[in-house]
Chain A
Amino acid sequence: DGGITQSPKYLFRKEGQNVTLSCEQNLNHDAMYWYRQDPGQGLRLIYYSQIVNDFQKGDIAEGYSVSREKKESFPLTVTSAQKNPTAFYLCASSIFLGSGEPYEQYFGPGTRLTVT
């Protein structure tokens, strides 16, 4: 999982509470991403950021928010508006030199969020 840390590994919350997932990288990558993984559905992009203080919605951004105040950090907040928040959340980073470049992503170990 080299160079990307996510905490906590497991997180339990009550319905209606906001929760923030941490993601830190020391790879000096400009681009960072948040994905949601559900069984049998692969990975779906929530948000991404290509530069500090800028981020864009991915395919399933509703009910989530992010910030990118530092190059190393890209925290994800799962809000109470997210209707089905229980999932495995993966943070990733990559080199960014322009749009559509074919750089691979490096992933953190993930946070498994359970909301009851």
Chain B
Amino acid sequence: AQSVAQPEDQVNVAEGNPLTVKCTYSVSGNPYLFWYVQYPNRGLQFLLKYITGDNLVKGSYGFEAEFNKSQTSFHLKKPSALVSDSALYFCAVGGGFKTIFGAGTRLFVKA
């Protein structure tokens, strides 16, 4: 069975500082991993995904994620946070109807 965990309910960073939102996963076989972002009262927006290949995946809005097989992690990162990055972030594993979403991490970027 697949599972995904986001160990932090909330992450607080200052604008201009680097940000990291953590995600760990458990799958049998090769993982397919995704990050989505949700702004208040809106649907989720796809940010990036890892299928295979380079461990560093680049996505939308300057976000990137690092796949680490030995640590079974897929942390979302951005070198310099913006206030507008404040939102709810979801890590997901699988794909299609097999997608399992994490509980979400709320990112708060302070000006």
Whether A31 and B96, one on each chain, are in contact in the complex, defined by CB atoms closer than 8 angstroms, is yes
A59 to chain B, nearest CB (A): 10
- Once the chains bind, are A45 and B97 in contact (CB under 8 Å)? yes
* Number of B residues with CB within 8 Å of any CB on chain A: 23
Q: How large is the interface on A (under 10, 10 to 19, 20 to 34, 35 or more residues)?
A: 20 to 34
CB distance from A74 to the nearest CB of B (A): 13
- Residue pair A103, B97 in contact (C-beta under 8 Å): no
B99: Cβ under 8 A from any A Cβ:
yes
Given contacts A41-B103, A42-B90, A50-B97, contact A102 B49 (CB under 8 A): yes
Cross-chain contact of B44 among A31, A48, A50, A90 (Cβ < 8 A):
A90
A-B contacts besides A43-B90, A109-B41, 20 pairs, CB < 8 Å: A1-B43, A6-B43, A31-B97, A33-B97, A42-B104, A43-B101, A45-B97, A45-B99, A48-B97, A96-B96, A100-B94, A101-B95, A102-B32, A102-B49, A102-B94, A103-B95, A104-B49, A104-B95, A105-B99, A107-B45
